Structure 1
Amino acid sequence: MFGYSMAEIGNIVVMQGFSGLSMFTVLLLMALGLAIIFGQMGVINMAHGEFMTIGAYTTVMLSKVAATYGFTNYYFIFAILIAFGLAFIVGYFIEFVMIRHLYKRPLDTLLATWGLSLVMQQIFRSTFGAKEVSAELPEWMLGSFQPTPDIDIPINGVFVMGLAALVTFGVYMFMFKSRWGLRVRATVQNRTMAGAVGINTAKVDRVTFALGCGIAGIAGAAFTTIASTGPTTGTLYIVDSFMVVVFGGAASIVGTIASAFGIAQAQSVLQFFMTSSMGKVSTLLAIVTILMMKPEGLFASKLRK
C-alpha cells in the first residue's frame, strides 16, 4: 500500500470492492444452492460446480443462436431461465439415480459426487472442446457508468447483483414462507415424523436437491457476464462455495450472504495489494481463525434441545 496517496487508496478500495461484488454475486448464487443441498440435506455435493458449468454453457450456446438470428439483446433473460431449468432437470435425475441411495452417508456422497464431477467435466470437454468460450452479451449490459471521474462501475456487474438479490429473496420466500419450504424443514428436523404426517419425504429430497442444482445453473449464467467458460470452470468455485456455507453457518441464508460478501471483498482487495495466491491464503487464514472460535459459523442454527 506504500506509494499510494490516501485518495488513490480510497479509489482502489472502491474499485476493487465493486470487483469483489461481481465475485460476491457468483459466490452467493453458488453458495445458496449449496446451503440448500449441504445445509438442509447434509449432502456433500462435490459436483455442484459442474451444475454451474451447465448454466454457463447453456448461456454461451444460446448467445451463439441469438447472434445468428439477430436477437442478442433479448436472449439473456431467457438464458437464465433455461439454465435454471436444465440444471434442475439434471439434478433431479442425479438425485433419483444416485444421491437418494447415499443419505446419512456423507463420506460416500463426497466420493460419489467427486467422481460425478470428473465424468461431467469429461462430457463438457468432449461436447464443447477444451478451450474456454465466452457468451456475447446484450448491448444493454455493455459499458459502464462513472459516479466520479476516477471510478468506473460496469453495467453487467450491476445486473448480476440485482439477479443475486432477486434469487436470494426467492430462496427465502421458498424456504420460510411457502408450504413446500415447511415440508423441507420438517423433513430435515425429523424425517420419520414428517413421513408419519403424510409428507412425501422422497419427493421433498428430490425437488430440494434439484432446486439447489438449478440455482447453481443461474450462477453459471451470471458467471458468463464476467469471465469465459471451460470444462473445469466449476471447480474454481467449489472450494470457495463450501467455505462460504461453512463459514456463514450451514443452514443460514443470512450467514451465507454475509460470508459470501466478506470473503469476496477480502479476496478482491487483498489480491490487489498482494499476489492472487497470497490474497486467498490470507483470507483462508482469517476464516480458519474465526472458525476456531466459532466452529458453528457466523450464524449458527438454533436447535431445540
Structure 2
Amino acid sequence: MFGYSLGELGSIFAMQAFAGLILFSVFVLMALGLAIIFGQMGVINMAHGEFMILGAYMTYLTSHVFQTYLPAGYPAYFFVAMAVAFIVSGALGLATEWLLIRHLYARPLDTLLATWGLSLIMQQAFRSIFGAREVGVQLPDWMMGALSVTDVIEVQINGLFVMGLTLIITGVVALLLFRSRWGLQVRAVVANRTMSGAAGIDTRRVDRLTFGLGCGIAGIAGSAFTMIGSTGPTAGQLYIVDTFLVVVFGGAQSLLGTIASAFTISQSQSTLEFFLTGSMAKVLTLLFVIGLLMLRPQGLFVLKVRR
C-alpha cells in the first residue's frame, strides 16, 4: 500500500470492491446450490463445478445457435441460455441422484469419491465434445462498456447485470424455501428426517428435487461465468474449493450465512489480489477463514436442528 496517496487508495479499494462484488455473485450462485444439497442431504458433491461448466457450455452453444440462425434475436440470447442451462444441468442432476447418489446416502466418503469420479467423467466428456481449448461467448452490445461513477472509477455493465441476476435468483430461492410447500418439506427434512418421513413426507422425492434444483442453480452460475471468464473443461475445479469454503464458513444450512460468507471471502480475495499475488491472496483468505472456524466451527450462522 506504500507509495499510494489517500485518494488513489480510495479509488483502488472502490474498484476492487466492485470486482469483488462480481466474484461474490458467482460465489453466491455456486454456493446456493451446494448449500441446499449439502445442508439437507449431507452430500459432498465434488462434481458441482462441472455442473456449473455444463451451464457455461450450454450458454456457449445457445449463443452460437443465435449467431448462426437467429442473429436478429442475439441481444436476448442470454435469457434463453439461462433457461437452457438450468434445464439441462437440473435434468442431469436429477438423473445423477437417481442413478448414483440415492444408493450412497449415509456414506459420505463413498459419495465424495463417486462424485469426484463423476467430475472426471464430465471433464473428459467436455474435452471430447468441445475440445481442450477454452471457449468464450460474444456479449450483446447492450452488455458492453462501462458506467463512469467518477473520473477514475468505472463499473462494467455486464458486472452490474450479473449482480442483478444474483439478487433475483437468491430472492427466488428464498421464496421457494420459506414460502412454498416444497420449501416447508425441505426445512422439515433438515430439522428431523425420520420424523418427516413418519409424517408422510416423501424424503426421497424431496432429496431428488433438491439435488436437481441445486445442480440447476449451478448451471445458471455457469451462464453468469461466461460473462467474466472463458470456459474450459477443467474451469469448474478453480471454483469448487472456494465454493465449499463459502458453504462451510457461512453454515451449511443457512441461506443468510452463505451470502455473508461469499461476500466476506470475495471482497478479501479481490482486495488482496491487487496488492499481492493471487496465490498469496488465497492463502491469507484461507488462513483467515480457518482462524474464524477454530473459534466458531459451526460457521457464521447455524440453524438449530434435532438429531
2:279, 2:98 → 1: CA distance? 39
- The answer for the alignment partner of 2:138 in structure 1 is 136
- The answer for the alignment partner of 2:174 in structure 1 is 172
Displacement of 1:288 in angstroms is 0.4
Q: Which moved more, 1:172-181 or 1:239-248?
A: 172-181
1:291, 1:191 → 2: CA distance? 27
- The answer for the alignment partner of 1:286 in structure 2 is 288
- The answer for the alignment partner of 1:158 in structure 2 is 160
1:56, 1:125 → 2: CA distance? 14
Alignment TM-score, normalising by the size of structure 2: 0.97
Q: Aligned runs of 1:52-71 on 2, under 5 Å? A: 52-68=52-68, 69-70=70-71, 71=73
2:223 to 205, 218, 221: 221
Letter paired with 1:279 = A
1:24, 1:9 → 2: CA distance? 21
Displacement of 1:132 in angstroms is 0.3
1:72 touches 1:136 (CA, 8 Å); kept in 2? no
Q: Mind listing any 5+ residue stretches in structure 2 that lack a counterpart?
A: none
2:293 touches 2:299 (CA, 8 Å); kept in 1? yes
Letter paired with 2:42 = G
Q: Closer, same or farther in 2 for the Cα pair 1:197/1:302, shift >3 Å?
A: closer
Letter paired with 2:87 = G
1:262, 1:190 → 2: CA distance? 31
SS at match of 1:148: coil
Letter paired with 1:184 = V
Letter paired with 1:181 = G
Displacement of 1:190 in angstroms is 2.5
| Total equivalences in the alignment | 305
Q: Aligned runs of 1:168-247 on 2, under 5 Å? A: 168-247=170-249
Q: Confirm whether residue 22 of structure 1 aligns to residue 33 of structure 2.
A: no
2:122 to 116, 120, 123: 120
Displacement of 1:141 in angstroms is 0.8
Letter paired with 2:38 = F
1:274, 1:190 → 2: CA distance? 46
2:39 touches 2:190 (CA, 8 Å); kept in 1? no
Q: Mind listing any 5+ residue stretches in structure 1 that lack a counterpart?
A: none
Displacement of 1:189 in angstroms is 2.6
Q: What is the aligned-residue RMSD (CA, Å)?
A: 1.0
- The answer for the alignment partner of 1:50 in structure 2 is 50
1:258 to 260, 269, 274: 260
2:40 touches 2:189 (CA, 8 Å); kept in 1? no
Q: Aligned runs of 1:268-283 on 2, under 5 Å? A: 268-283=270-285
2:31 touches 2:243 (CA, 8 Å); kept in 1? yes
1:36, 1:215 → 2: CA distance? 10
1:20 touches 1:264 (CA, 8 Å); kept in 2? yes
Letter paired with 2:183 = G
1:32 touches 1:212 (CA, 8 Å); kept in 2? yes
Letter paired with 1:15 = M
Displacement of 1:74 in angstroms is 1.1
- The answer for the alignment partner of 1:97 in structure 2 is 99
Displacement of 1:138 in angstroms is 1.2
Letter paired with 1:64 = H
Letter paired with 1:111 = L
Q: Which moved more, 1:260-269 or 1:178-187?
A: 178-187
2:113, 2:64 → 1: CA distance? 36
Displacement of 1:123 in angstroms is 0.2
Displacement of 1:302 in angstroms is 2.0
Displacement of 1:272 in angstroms is 0.4
Letter paired with 1:29 = L
SS at match of 2:149: strand
SS at match of 2:148: strand
1:64 touches 1:136 (CA, 8 Å); kept in 2? no
- The answer for the alignment partner of 1:145 in structure 2 is 147
Letter paired with 1:301 = L
Letter paired with 1:241 = T
Displacement of 1:137 in angstroms is 1.1
Alignment TM-score, normalising by the size of structure 1: 0.98
Displacement of 1:304 in angstroms is 5.1
